Amino acid sequence: MASAAVKQLQLAPLGAGDLIDRTVRLYRRHFMALIRASAPPVLIGAVGAVMWSVGVRSVALTESDERLVFYVLLAVAGVFVRFVGLLAQLIVLGGASRNLVTHLLWGEPVTARLIYRSVRSRFWGLLGASLAMVAYLLVTAGLAIFLWYLVLLIFFVGGALLFAGTGGPTWLAAVAAVVFTLGTAVLSVWLFFFTSGRAAYVPQVMMVEGRGVFDSIGRSVVLARGNVRRLMAMFLFTLVGGYSALSLLFVPLGWAAYLRGLNPFTMDAARLPVWYTVGAEVALQLSVILLAPVWTMGLSLLYVDERVRHEGYDIELLAAQRLGEIPSLPRGVNAPLAPAIAAEAPPPAPRPPAPPGSVLGLTDRA
């Protein structure tokens, strides 16, 4: 039976404000567990970021060919380690989605141990899904940026020709340029979330429903229709929260630089001391540790909400509270009443019946 917290869970469709409010409340309730789960992969990325920063900074200052080669290799290795850290972060956050959904529906505790157990159970699938999502996000972001620049180029070239021919006021042209630039930027962001949001629920589908990578992508495309505004609201909330956390972390670093007579805003980035470069990267990664679980928790809530809207997830929860959990079905058996959360280890397929005339299932040889 579900716990008291789950019995009081409201599974009504969520708006953007309700989504953010519930995300913040769940984040505060499970703060330490989420931080412990998200910290190790972010620390890997932090090491790569420091290697990259030190390598790039030293390339511009060194005069030795041997050291130049070393610093170039250090920067390249930093890029690789940072990419590995990003993949590890996506894998861990994908594994956390199962723990979060089971907490929402069954009252299962949210712990780092359970999150990493889910990661171990589907590691290679999560790795493939993370690589596919990174490639897809890069393609969609590149497409949105390319279309934005193309539209701006056409507008400014056409506007310059029109302005030169008519001789209109300069202030009107400047206002039109600013308005058009901001408007096309908003449209480009909307286009990015419209296309990339189709893959938003791939980790949730894989971990909760027990599907493969390509099947999870197709399932995510079906579930993610019409969620552009809520995804944009979650992104803006996470962006503002990350910027606020980063600003607070940079305050002591800025004071330390000021007391040493440094002004990072006017000094060349290549000539900043190593301690400041490392401190800035550490502050950046700490803000990622604090805010990365918020995005995952918001996507898990959105996933549950989409299934409430389209598949009657709330009806199954009410039935489970009164009648018990729906029995698990053998592998390969499809039915309209299947468990909402697939078992981590699906039961084996039933063995075929023994042929007649042989109790042990042995057949006569010719």
Instruction: Please indicate whether residue 37 or residue 285 has the higher confidence score (pLDDT).
Output: 37
Instruction: Please indicate whether residue 308 or residue 313 has the higher confidence score (pLDDT).
Output: 308
Lowest mean pLDDT among 29-38, 186-195, 325-334, 348-357: 348-357
Lowest mean pLDDT among 68-77, 309-318, 350-359: 350-359
pLDDT at 326: 58
DSSP assignment of 160-210, as one string? HHHHHHH---HHHHHHHHHHHHHHHHHHHHHHHHHHHGGGTTHHHHHHHH-
pLDDT at 153: 84
pLDDT at 269: 60
**pLDDT at position 3 over 60:** no
DSSP assignment of 251-281, as one string? HHHHHHHHHTT--TTTS-GGGS-HHHHHHHH
* Residues 316, 301: Cα–Cα separation, whole Å: 16
pLDDT at 77: 92
- Report the share of the chain in percent with pLDDT over 90: 1
- Report the share of the chain in percent with pLDDT over 70: 77
Helix pair 313-323, 65-106: axis angle to 10 deg: 60
DSSP symbol at 351: P
Tokens of 178: 């600013």
CB-count burial class (<10 Å; 0-12, 13-18, 19+) for 330 = exposed
Taking CA atoms, 68 is separated from 61, 86, 271, in Å, by 9, 27, 16
pLDDT at 358: 32
DSSP symbol at 12: S
pLDDT at 364: 41
pLDDT at 316: 64
Instruction: Please indicate whether residue 230 or residue 332 has the higher confidence score (pLDDT).
Output: 230
- State the chain's mean pLDDT as an integer: 76
pLDDT at 166: 66
* Residues 303, 296: Cα–Cα separation, whole Å: 10
**pLDDT at position 352 over 70:** no
Span 25-43, average pLDDT: 87
Span 65-90, average pLDDT: 87
* Residues 326, 337: Cα–Cα separation, whole Å: 8
pLDDT at 331: 58
Contact of 121 with 344, CB cutoff 8 Å? yes
Q: Where are the alpha helices (DSSP H) in the chain?
A: 4-7, 16-29, 31-59, 65-106, 112-121, 123-166, 170-196, 202-209, 213-223, 228-259, 274-311, 313-323
* 173-226 tens-digit pLDDT: 778 788 888 888 888 888 888 888 888 888 888 888 888 888 888 888 888 877
Instruction: Please indicate whether residue 353 or residue 216 has the higher confidence score (pLDDT).
Output: 216
Contact of 162 with 137, CB cutoff 8 Å? no
* pTM for this predicted structure: 0.74
pLDDT at 11: 55
Contact of 232 with 18, CB cutoff 8 Å? no
Instruction: Please indicate whether residue 15 or residue 9 has the higher confidence score (pLDDT).
Output: 15
Span 339-344, average pLDDT: 60
